[in-house]
Every structure is written in C-alpha cells, then in structure tokens.
Chain A
Amino acid sequence: MKTGIKIALSLALLSSLSFGGEQFAMSDSDRAMYAEMLENNPADIMVANGEQLLGNLGGEAAFAKYLGVSEDKLPEYIAGFPRYIEKFKMVVGIDQVLQAMMHDAGEKPFKLKSSDMFDMLAYTKSLANGVKSNIDIDANQHMKDAYALGQKTFDTKRGGRGLSCLSCHAPAVIGSVLRTQPLPDLSSKGVAVAATWPAYRMTKSSLRTLQRRFQGCMKNALLKVIPIGSPEMVALEVYLTKQAEGTEIAIPGLKR
C-alpha cells in the first residue's frame, strides 16, 4: 500500500522532472540515481530516527492522546496541519506541537531547525501517508488570517533583487526555465508540493522540511531569510498546503 503510493507519486515526479526538456532536467546518470533512490529513499533512515524519537515520548498513541484525538482518527488529523490549536493560542505546524509535547513531558524541546526535529516531523507526518491533505482554512478566523498572511508573504516583492515567490512560481511562469531549472508547479493536483515534504534533497544530501525549502529559495533569490516557525513561515505553509488539498500525503518525498 505504502509503496504503491510512493511509486505512483514517483512517476508523476519523474515526468515532471523531464518536463522542462531533457537537457535541462537531469542527466541520464542522475536519472538512474533518482530511480534507484525511489526504491530506497535515503531519508528512510532519518524517518526511522524520527520514529525512535517520537517513541521516546510514547509514540503514535501518546501523540494522539496529546492532541485529544483517537488513534484511528490521527492520520486524518495530521493531514490537516498546520491548524489552530486553542491550547497554544496559535496556528501551529506539527513540529511546534512536538515542541509543546516534549516540554510537557519534561524534556527540552528540539529546536525547530534541528535535524532531530526534521526527522521527528517527517516520521509524524508520514503517519498520514496515503491520506488526502485536508487543511481547513475556513475552520476559524485564525486560519483565515493565516491563509491571507501566507498569500501576502508569497506575493510580496522584497530583497536585493525585488523578487517575490510569485515571481518564479506564478502560473504564467511554471515550466519556464530559470538557469537550467524548470520552475516547478507548487499547486496543481498530483504534483502538490506541500504533501511531499519533508523530503530528501539529493543536491543537499539531507532531509529537509517545507519551511527549510522556503528558506532555500529566499537565500538564492536574495530575499532576507526568515526563521522557521515564524507566523509568516507557518502561514506560507498554510497557503501552499491549501493548494495541495486533496492530494495524498507521501512522506518522505524525493527532490532534486
């Protein structure tokens, strides 16, 4: 079941990678390596580390209990993050919930940008693999505000070159080439990006989260890099997760 999903997703990825023209997308040897990695995602060991870390806190069952949902409803609940949680009085990502949970268990929470947190986040989100992404941006005013802030952050031009995320990720430029990189579609069904992060990034040889990926684009495009977990970062995640609505979650993803 789980591998079935992975393979279907991978095919979509493979075809999207060849989309920009072979000379741009990947060399044959890169493609062969990619195919090999699909069978055996290098991030699997990082996700396994995440499983162990969550296990130290009581695992899946404890996480469900902490969130006040039954274990069989947990995957669907996870597929709805980021969400507003009354207890925290803010819209949070899964990683932030894990920080609170660690704290309440008497442990020092991992930093959001630490690799242990990336691993634990990846494992926790993978509990929803195969479930359709189901964020509800109309659930309450907080979610509406977060979505609006996400869109605004996405559209705002700033930084050394006066670019916004939209400059390179507007529907009109999808598939164009930015210095040999075909610009990915962040929203259409089947390639929906938010459902496939955390992911292994081959060019970075590490597991990265969605917010960490945002930081990569900010850095490259000379936008001031904003910190993981800031309201704007969570809002960007809300904005892109909404665009991934209805797509099956498949963690860990595999990216160039």
Chain B
Amino acid sequence: MKKTIMMSLALLGSLVAADYSAVIESPNASKLIEKDLLAPAKVYTMPKGCITTDADAIARGAFMFHNLNGGKVKGNPPKGLAKKNADDKPKQYGNCVACHNIEDAEGAGNIGPDLTSYNAMFMATGVRDNQFVYQKIADARVDNVNTHMTINLTTKLFNEREICDITSYIVSPK
C-alpha cells in the first residue's frame, strides 16, 4: 500500500514536467565575481619619503618581491614584516619573481621584463624614475590598459608603505 503511493507519487513527479533547477547543481557565482572585481585604474603619487636607502625597508621589499605568501616561507621575515594578517591568514607577498628575473632570483619567470641591473640601466640613465616604478607596481594599467602585470595597490594587496619598500628595493643599486 505504502509502496504504491510512493510509486504513484514518483510517477506523478516525472509526468509534471520536472523542474531540474532543484536537481542539477547550478550555484550562483555572479555575486562572488561581482565582489571580486578590480576597481578602475588609478593614478598614485608617491608619499613623502617613499624611496629610501634604509636597509630594513629594502630587505622587506626584497622579501615581498621573492616570496609568495607567509604560509610558504621558512624562517622569519625581515624586521617590520609579518607572516600573517590580523585575521591569522597567511600574508600575501608580491611573488614578483614569478614573472620577473632580478639579482639572486630563484626560478624566475619571464612574463615581465628582466629587472636585473635596473638601477644602472634605467635609473642612472634617466629612462625611468622612482614615481614611474611606484605607479607601475601600484597600478600598471595607467600606462598599459591591457597589462598582464599584477595590480598591487588598487587591490589593497599592499599598502603605500609596502609599495615604497618594494620600489626602494628595485631601484637600489645591487
């Protein structure tokens, strides 16, 4: 008896043109993507005292350049740089070496230009200046809309000070 009711219910279910939206998983992703979108390109001006020869700042810049995130690194980061964020998640670094070669890089990529001898080739010759490098790291879309480079300040991946540290590292004579 019970069985026949169940069977006829099942039959009914298949006759009433089924609504498969409850059967087939098709979760919404557009909200996730919406919240994750990149803000428009932005022009930045270096804050005062941004570029420095301070060894600690340059060490932090180098560390962020060569590493992916705090969860992956062994040992301690340089003074003034955390391994974790306030929420206890690993802090993300630049992983710039994924795309750029530079002095002492290990396993560098070549999607972006080689930044080796940057000071001698681009700074000393006046081809580039600090503000250019700062802007490039902060938001590279300003002079190249379709850039394949990461966006580091507009995304709030880094704060101004951190962009300064990274810039100081790149432009420093090595």
Instruction: Give chain A's interface residues, CB within 8 Å of chain B.
Output: 87-90, 92, 96, 99-100, 103-104, 106, 109, 111-112, 153, 156-163, 166-168, 170, 172-173, 176-181, 183, 222-224, 226-234
Residue from the list B29, B151, B154, B155 in contact with A233, Cβ < 8 A: B29
Interface-central residue, A103, A112, A233, A234, by most chain B CB under 10 Å: A103
Docked-complex contact B27 and A173, CB < 8 angstroms: no
Bound complex: CA of A226 vs CA of B34, how far in Å?
11
Tell whether B142 is near chain A: CB-to-CB under 8 Å. Answer: no
B16 at the interface (CB under 8 A from A): no
Q: Is residue B95 within 8 Å, beta carbon to beta carbon, of the partner chain?
A: yes
* Partner pick for A226 among B33, B108, B154, CB 8 A cutoff: B33
Please name all residues of chain A whose beta carbon is closer than 8 Å to the beta carbon of B30 when the two chains form the complex.
Answer: 231-232
Q: Which of B35-43, B44-52, B116-124, B162-170 contacts A (4 or more CB under 8 A)?
A: B35-43
Chain A residue at smallest Cβ distance from B101: A177
Residue in B23, B36, B38, B109 whose CB lies within 8 Å of A103: B23
Q: How far is the CA of A249 from the CA of B151 in the complex (A)?
A: 37
In the complex, are the beta carbons of B29 and A226 less than 8 A apart?
Answer: yes
* B151 pairs with A90, CB closer than 8 A: no
CA of A183 to CA of B30, assembled, Å: 27
Main SS at interface, chain B: loop
Q: A168-B111, A179-B107 are in contact. Are A96 and B24 (CB under 8 A)?
A: yes
Report the contact-size class of chain B (Cβ under 8 Å from the partner): 35 or more
- In whole Å, how far is B32's beta carbon from the nearest beta carbon of chain A? 5
Which residue of A has the minimal Cβ distance to B17?
A87
Contact of A179 among B27, B28, B109, B157 (CB under 8 A): B109
Contact A162 B38 (CB under 8 A): yes
A179 in contact with B98 given A229-B25, A230-B29, A232-B33 (CB within 8 Å): yes
25 sample A-B contacts, Cβ–Cβ < 8 Å, listed by A number: A89-B20, A89-B21, A100-B23, A104-B18, A106-B10, A109-B25, A153-B33, A156-B33, A158-B38, A160-B157, A161-B151, A162-B38, A162-B150, A173-B111, A173-B148, A176-B110, A177-B110, A179-B107, A179-B108, A179-B109, A222-B92, A223-B36, A224-B36, A226-B29, A231-B30
